[in-house]
Amino acid sequence: MKIITAIIKPFKLDEVREALTEIGVHGMTATEVKGYGRQKGHAEIYRGAEYIVAFLPKVKIDIALPEALVDRAIEAIRLAAYTGHIGDGKIFVSPLERAMRIRTGETDFDAL
Amino acid sequence: MQSSFARAAITFVGARIPRVRWDRFGAALGATLVAGPALAQDGGGKIDGADTAFMIAATALVLMMTLPGLALFYSGMVRKKNVLATMAQSLIATALVSLLWIGVAYSLAFSGEGAFIGDASRSLLAGIGIDTVSPFAKTIPEILFMLYQMTFAVITCALVAGSVAERMKFSAFMLFCALWLFIVYVPSAHWVWGGGFLQKMGLLDFAGGTVVHINAGIAGLVCALVLGSRVGFGRENLSPFDLSLAVVGTGLLWVGWFGFNGGSALAANSRAVFAIVATHLAACAGALVWSGLEWFQRGKPSVLGVISGAVAGLGTITPASGYVLPWHGVVIGMIAGGVCYWFCTVAKYKFRYDDTLDVFGVHGVGGIMGTLLAGVFATRAITASEGDPGVAGLLEGDPHQLYVQAIGVLVTIVWGVIGTLATLKIVSLITPLRVTYDDEREGLDIALHGEALHQ
């Protein structure tokens, strides 16, 4: 089992969700986050007080899935989240040790 | 975290407490509590229904300026962790000042013949009956005049909080309101509106350039200097929580100002409308000029700039509103937009004082300019009434009025500084003025009130 964490531009969330549903991924968690990489932040001015804000709004999605689906999921996310401009985001894959569905008690593959 | 300036300033202060006629206070207190319906004392006027109706509405508008106008205006501009605490200051100022006003503050401001302070004859509203009329507002019930003036005292105290937002202790603020009301506001109101020496000298202050705006602005600046800057001022990101709250607050202030300046005519007449028109045009002109300057200088016109310019215009026109022509209001508003812009965006950082919500930059500077400009633009045709030939200003060829205005401004500033320092000194003997470093970091909502916005 693996867990994919992807940081994407907020307006891409629906597209990514649809793309993942098509390949058989039927659940995910989305969080609103702030982040930066190569994309530059912006300046905000409040009555003469100027702040350079490096952090930009992003959306982070976490998906737990069987190893067999990982390659297709990465491809689906990348295609859906792509714009070609700096700031498109990143995809990370980590090993997932255990999983359980709370309602039924099913574990590991049956829980995904 | 008091600066050495603060320590030096406080050492030189001696508090001056107005001499209250306690014998008369006792008599008045007795009369109120023991007697039945108060004896009507006629101030020499006949109560007019239209004037009364208008002034009731104006009173409500001015109270609305504080609740929720100022509460929203200020809270939107502080950080999320301090929003509720900032609103609490407007709320508590209203509650506290209102009660003190009917206690003895109104009396000291608006009754009696003293040049510097009134007397206690109207304590607890003694002598104010159904038909009683104040000599200062002969066609409305005195109780309404008292209530209208109360809303001015309330907002002035609430305004001061803006300079020391995000770092003043709640208990210290309450004590400050209670004392500053008597040490600074009440004498000032008496001098300018209650028959005191500035009024006798002919000072023009239609709705509170000196009594409200200069007092609040100077007090704010003194408080900001004494308490010191916020942690992180000039270095960290202290950006506003939600400017949409500030915009809503501005709308309530702008509309409410129709009652603040219009109602200062104390009658439902044409003069009230001239005041309202000049007021509204000043707000518009101020908004456009501030916005324009920002657009030119920074590349983008901010929403905060539009609302700041509007409030600057409104504050500056206040003392002149009932004495000038509409186009004067436009000019005054434009000047306000420009000068206040400079004070709020340049001077504050150049001289490094944390007047957090720009009470001095907008109200202080605006009040000073507006009071002086009243002496420039005063128009005889507008200022004249039955039995009063009116006053002409510099533009109409009389430089004397400008001289009187300058004296009024100077006296107000000097007493404001002395009185505010004295107030802060007294309060600091009872409780620290400023929150601890940890509380400031955590946020005043949690630290002072045990509440949080869960957004």
A54 contact residues in B (CB cutoff 8 A): none
pLDDT at position B112 is 87
Cα(A109)–Cα(B95) distance, rounded to whole angstroms? Answer: 63
| DSSP state, residue B321 | T
Residue range B222-237: average pLDDT? Answer: 96
A103 in any annotated domain:
no
Overall number of domains in chain A: 1
User: What is this structure's pTM?
Assistant: 0.89
Q: Which residues of A59-70 are buried (b: 16+ CB within 10 A; e: fewer)?
A: bbbebbbeeebb
Overall number of domains in chain B: 1
User: Which candidate from A44, A48, A53 shows the least CB-CB separation from B346?
Assistant: A48
B305 contact residues in A (CB cutoff 8 A): 47
Cα of A56 to nearest chain B Cα, Å = 15
Cα of A102 to nearest chain B Cα, Å = 27
A105 in any annotated domain:
no
CATH of the domain at B342: 1.10.3430.10
A47 contact residues in B (CB cutoff 8 A): 304-305, 308, 344-345, 358
Cα(B353)–Cα(B366) distance, rounded to whole angstroms? Answer: 18
pLDDT score of B2 more than 50: no
The CA radius of gyration of chain A, in Å to the nearest whole number, is 17
User: Which candidate from A44, A47, A51 shows the least CB-CB separation from B345?
Assistant: A47
B239 contact residues in A (CB cutoff 8 A): 44, 46, 49, 51
A46 in any annotated domain:
yes
* Measured torsion, CA atoms of residues B250, B256, B260, B263, in degrees rounded to the nearest 10: 160
- Selection from B404, B120, B294 nearest residue A50 by Cα: B294
CB distance B255 to B28 below 8 Å? no
Cα(B231)–Cα(B213) distance, rounded to whole angstroms? Answer: 27
A51 contact residues in B (CB cutoff 8 A): 237, 239
Alpha helices in B343-364 (DSSP H): 348-350
Tokens of B147: 């209530």
Q: pLDDT digits over B331-388, tens only?
A: 999 999 999 999 999 999 999 999 999 999 999 999 999 999 999 999 999 998 877 8
B293 contact residues in A (CB cutoff 8 A): none
A102 in contact with B, Cβ within 8 Å: no
Q: Is B27 exposed, middle or buried (0-12, 13-18, 19+ CB in 10 A)?
A: middle
CATH of the domain at A27: 3.30.70.120
Tokens of A112: 């995904």
B333 in any annotated domain:
yes
A89 in any annotated domain:
yes
- Cβ of A46 within 8 Å of Cβ of B346? The answer is no
A51 in contact with B, Cβ within 8 Å: yes
**CA distances from residue B64 to A1, B94, B189, B243, B328 in whole angstroms, order as listed:** 61, 11, 21, 19, 27
CB distance B362 to B314 below 8 Å? no
Question: Taking all residues of chain B, what is their mean pLDDT, rounded to a whole number?
Answer: 92
Cα of A91 to nearest chain B Cα, Å = 28
What percent of chain B clears pLDDT 90, i.e. is strictly above it? Answer: 87
Cα(B36)–Cα(B129) distance, rounded to whole angstroms? Answer: 11
Name every residue whose Cβ is closer than 8 Å to that of residue A60 and which is 6 or more positions away in sequence. Answer: A5, A6, A7, A8, A30, A31, A32, A33
B124 in any annotated domain:
yes
B304 contact residues in A (CB cutoff 8 A): 46-47
Q: Is A58 exposed, middle or buried (0-12, 13-18, 19+ CB in 10 A)?
A: buried
Q: Which domain does A80 fall in, by range?
A: 2-96
The answer, yes or no, to whether the previous bond of B68 is cis (omega within 30 of 0) is: yes
Structure confidence at residue A70 as a pLDDT band (50, 70, 90): very high
Which residues of chain B have a Cβ shorter than 8 Å from any chain A Cβ? Answer: 77, 237-240, 298, 300, 302, 304-305, 308, 344-346, 348-349, 358
Alpha helices in B161-269 (DSSP H): 170-180, 186-192, 197-201, 215-227, 243-262
User: In Å, how far from its chain's centre is CA B12?
Assistant: 26
Residue of A nearest to B290 (CA): A47
pLDDT score of B320 more than 70: yes
A57 in any annotated domain:
yes
A106 in any annotated domain:
no
B432 in any annotated domain:
yes
Name every residue whose Cβ is closer than 8 Å to that of residue B108 and which is 6 or more positions away in sequence. Answer: B18, B20, B117, B118, B119, B120, B182, B186, B187, B190
CB distance A7 to A60 below 8 Å? yes
Residue range B152-174: average pLDDT? Answer: 98
Cα(B324)–Cα(B275) distance, rounded to whole angstroms? Answer: 8
Q: Which of B293, B345, B354 to mutate: most A Cβ within 10 Å?
A: B345
ipTM of the prediction: 0.86
pLDDT at position B23 is 52
Name every residue whose Cβ is closer than 8 Å to that of residue B186 and which is 6 or more positions away in sequence. Answer: B18, B105, B108, B109, B117, B153
pLDDT at position B388 is 83
B455 in any annotated domain:
no
Angle at B293 between CA B289 and CA B296, to 5 degrees: 135
Structure confidence at residue A18 as a pLDDT band (50, 70, 90): very high
Q: Which domain does B161 fall in, by range?
A: 4-449
Q: Is B277 exposed, middle or buried (0-12, 13-18, 19+ CB in 10 A)?
A: middle
Count other Cβ atoms within 10 Å, centred on residue B227.
25
B394 in any annotated domain:
yes
